[in-house]
């Protein structure tokens, strides 16, 4: 059994057994913490799809996280206040609200990606940041929806067969969506589309010489990653029963990027580990000092300097050393004078 499979199964078992562990030790907070972990892990993994496989360093990824949550919050506000939204009475059904929120995230991804991909490098980073800040200020200016104070939701969305107000059922839904998202991303990066995306990362000139159009593939990846972050925002709105413009702020994009770097760029599962480390350190260090970022910053710097693939790379390093030790020695080259007729 490969080490990668062991790590995957260990993570899955931890998520699956956490409610039982929480009940055994009478710590319901663990379920809440791991629900946050699953949500942020999904958002971070979607960002890793851009950074790790497309070499697209987006500093505005929180825009999708915030928009997905705000669509849920706005519809919930109109539904609870019985105020028609453009003639629509609103709905609390997840089968109606969630696809609508994802559609809005896809449209934002198309516009934001189409304009941002006209640039590259630092310019790409700055224009994605500008889009995120534009959305942040737009959400903050919506005084009808609370402005900077955000929107409080009375209840979670409804889903047939599930009671999302039950903490354990909502937790398992978040875990199932996280696992589904990771499997989808793995199939995506291992497909022809993924090979083209990685080829563009290594050498855009060679990929273009094969007759492929970089913008088409990168824009598709940008939209897909936006959908992942939007789904995480939808789940966060239902988890916290609250949305605010801070969900789309550049600080949130920085948190997601820190999770990706801490867990391992280009690993998909690594950002989930990075989210666990980030949230865990936040809980532990904040008990010691309110300036916990002063401690977290140097730790992140050490990971960047000495761990090229973050926590996931450290877990896989033992397997890499073993494969290197067992690798067969190359055959001795035959010198020209040793060849006999």
Q: What is the DSSP string of 87-147?
A: TB----BHHHHHHHHHHHHHHHHHHHHHHHTTS-THHHHHHHHHHHHHHHHHHHT-GGGTG
Residues 6+ apart with CB under 8 A from 210: none
The pair of structure tokens assigned to 334 is 């035959």
In the chain, DSSP assigns E strands to 151-152, 242-243
Which of 236, 239, 105, 231 is CA-nearest to residue 178? 231
Residue 107 CB coordination number (10 Å): 13
The pair of structure tokens assigned to 105 is 């995230």
Burial of 70 (0-12, 13-18, 19+ CB in 10 A): buried
Number of H helices, E strands in the chain: 13, 2
Helix (H) or strand (E) holding 62: helix 62-81
d(CA 207, CA 82): 54
Which value, to the nearest 10 degrees, does the dihedral of the CA atoms of residues 258, 261, 264, 269 take?
A: 30
Looking at residue 175, its pLDDT comes to: 96
Taking 50 as the pLDDT cut, the residues of the chain under it are 319-328, 330-341
pLDDT tens by residue, 123-143 = 999 999 999 999 999 999 999
pTM of structure? 0.88
The pair of structure tokens assigned to 104 is 């809005």
The structure tokens 């190359």 sit at 330
Looking at residue 101, its pLDDT comes to: 95
The pair of structure tokens assigned to 108 is 């934002």
The pair of structure tokens assigned to 194 is 């993924």
d(CA 66, CA 134): 12
Which SS3 state, helix, strand or coil, does residue 191 take? coil
């Amino acid at each position: 059994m490969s080490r990668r499979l062991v790590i995957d199964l260990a993570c899955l078992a931890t998520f699956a057994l956490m409610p039982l562990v929480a009940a055994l030790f009478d710590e319901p907070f663990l379920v809440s913490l791991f629900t946050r972990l699953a949500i942020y892990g999904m958002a971070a993994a979607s960002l890793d799809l851009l950074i790790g496989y497309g070499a697209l360093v987006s500093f505005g990824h929180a825009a999708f996280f915030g928009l997905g949550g705000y669509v849920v919050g706005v519809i919930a506000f109109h539904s609870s206040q019985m105020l028609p939204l453009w003639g629509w009475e609103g709905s609390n059904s997840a089968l109606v609200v969630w696809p609508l929120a994802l559609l809005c995230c896809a449209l934002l991804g198309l516009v934001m990606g189409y304009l941002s991909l006209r640039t590259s490098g630092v310019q790409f980073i700055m224009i994605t940041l500008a889009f995120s800040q534009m959305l942040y200020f737009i959400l903050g200016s919506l005084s009808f929806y609370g402005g900077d104070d955000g929107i409080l939701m009375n209840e979670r969305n409804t889903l047939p067969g599930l009671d999302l107000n039950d903490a354990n059922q909502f937790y398992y839904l978040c875990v199932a969506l996280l696992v589904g998202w990771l499997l989808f991303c793995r199939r995506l990066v291992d497909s022809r589309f993924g090979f083209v995306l990685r080829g563009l990362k290594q050498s855009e000139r060679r990929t273009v010489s094969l007759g492929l159009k970089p913008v088409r593939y990168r824009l598709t990846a940008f939209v897909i990653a936006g959908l992942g972050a939007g789904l995480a925002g939808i789940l966060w709105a239902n988890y916290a029963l609250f949305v605010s413009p801070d969900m789309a702020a550049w600080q949130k994009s920085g948190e997601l990027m820190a999770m990706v770097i801490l867990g391992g760029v280009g690993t998909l599962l690594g950002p989930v580990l990075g989210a666990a480390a980030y949230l865990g350190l936040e809980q532990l260090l904040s008990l010691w000092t309110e300036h916990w970022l002063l401690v977290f910053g140097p730790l992140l710097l050490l990971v960047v300097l000495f761990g090229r693939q973050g926590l996931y790379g450290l877990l896989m390093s033992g397997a890499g050393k073993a494969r290197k030790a067992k690798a067969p020695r190359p055959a001795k080259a035959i010198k020209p004078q040793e060849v006999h007729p």
